[in-house]
């Protein structure tokens, strides 16, 4: 059963090569968020480590772990202790030679409520994810929790309206995007501003088109590339929480670690969908070409 309103918190952090310290810092921030009243905590993409996908390195597969595994066990225990729901992002080792970029949801009783395997996998300079991750095979299915149905997606998924729509059609109450995205430091300020604005606007569009709140958590700080010829990534932070009309409820800074909080009124989705009945007016009889790569 969906609650009427929930207090949410997004953890925006800078990461280091020290995985144990990253995890300790993450848990400290989760505790702080819960102490401040958060019922749902969303962590950023691949929060246990640096963003290792800047290069293709087989040794990085050592960072992967099984699900269930050490991280889900520890996060589950923390969720139970604090009586909160935690959405985390892990490098999943499904089998030898088979890995996914996977979000997990830990219920407030400590159980693993569900997982989502990232469906859209980028392969761009500095974001060589196809080397590491097999595309997800679990579909776009919200995860039922005590706080409602969570439409969990991951980073590159956030650019695709189809993913958000399918989560909405499956009954999601919220859309959540753990993220790791940033600038090439060699891009000029105007290009950086265009990228950041596009990233924010497209996700606000998902909120509007589906009448759902959207939660987006990004990392911050500069991470150098192991490739000395590359520029590294300046992660742009700007984690945000938007309501079902795309209204910004809270937004973080570009370059600071933050715990971003807001109260989500889940009743607003009902009100918004009554005045903007986009789901009613969809022409499902005319969308068959969406199954094609391109109309030649």
What is the tens place of the pLDDT at every residue in 166-225? 999 999 999 999 999 999 999 999 999 999 999 999 999 999 999 999 999 999 999 999
CB 48 within 8 A of CB 65: no
What is the tens place of the pLDDT at every residue in 241-285? 999 999 999 999 999 999 999 999 999 999 999 999 999 999 999
What is the tens place of the pLDDT at every residue in 8-65? 999 999 999 999 999 999 999 999 999 999 999 999 999 999 999 999 999 999 999 9
Assigned token pair, 165 = 């729509």
Distances (CA, A) of 34 to 43, 97, 148, 259, 281: 13, 37, 18, 11, 40
CA distance 137 to 11: 27
| Cβ contacts of 24 within 8 Å, gap of 6 or more | none
CA distance 80 to 48: 20
pLDDT category at 296 given cuts 50, 70, 90 is confident
Query: Which sequence positions are flagged as catalytic?
Result: 45, 118, 155
CA distance 102 to 152: 10
Whether residue 228 has pLDDT greater than 80: yes
CB 133 within 8 A of CB 100: yes
CB 89 within 8 A of CB 43: yes
Domain 5-276, CATH: 3.60.110.10
pLDDT category at 1 given cuts 50, 70, 90 is very low
Domain boundaries, the chain: 5-276
CA distance 115 to 75: 14
């Amino acid at each position: 059963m969906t609650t009427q309103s929930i207090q949410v918190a997004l953890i925006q952090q800078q990461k280091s090569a020290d995985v144990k310290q990253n995890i300790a810092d993450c848990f400290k921030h989760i505790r702080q968020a819960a102490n401040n009243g958060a019922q749902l905590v969303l962590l950023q993409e691949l929060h246990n480590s640096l963003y290792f996908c800047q290069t293709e390195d087989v040794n990085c597969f050592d960072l992967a772990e099984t699900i269930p595994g050490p991280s889900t066990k520890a996060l589950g225990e923390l969720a139970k202790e604090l009586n909160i729901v935690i959405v985390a992002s892990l490098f999943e080792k499904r089998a030898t030679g088979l890995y996914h970029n996977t979000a997990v949801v830990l219920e407030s009783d400590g159980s693993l409520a569900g997982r989502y395997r990232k469906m859209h996998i980028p392969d761009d300079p500095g974001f060589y994810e196809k080397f590491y991750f097999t595309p997800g095979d679990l579909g776009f299915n919200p995860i039922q929790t005590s706080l409602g149905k969570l439409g969990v997606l991951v980073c590159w998924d956030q650019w695709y309206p189809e993913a958000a729509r399918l989560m909405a059609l499956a009954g999601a109450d919220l859309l959540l995007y753990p993220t790791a995205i940033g600038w090439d430091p060699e891009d000029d300020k105007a290009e950086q501003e265009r990228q950041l604005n596009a990233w924010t606007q497209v996700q606000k569009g998902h909120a509007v088109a589906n009448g759902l709140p959207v939660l987006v958590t990004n990392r911050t700080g500069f991470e150098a590339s192991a490739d000395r010829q590359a520029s590294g990534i300046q992660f742009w932070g700007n984690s945000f929480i938007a309501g079902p009309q795309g209204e910004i409820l809270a937004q973080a800074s570009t370059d600071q670690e933050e715990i971003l909080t807001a109260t989500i009124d889940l009743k607003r989705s009902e009100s918004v969908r009554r005045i903007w009945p986009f789901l009613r007016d969809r022409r499902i009889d005319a969308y068959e070409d969406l199954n094609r790569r391109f109309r030649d």
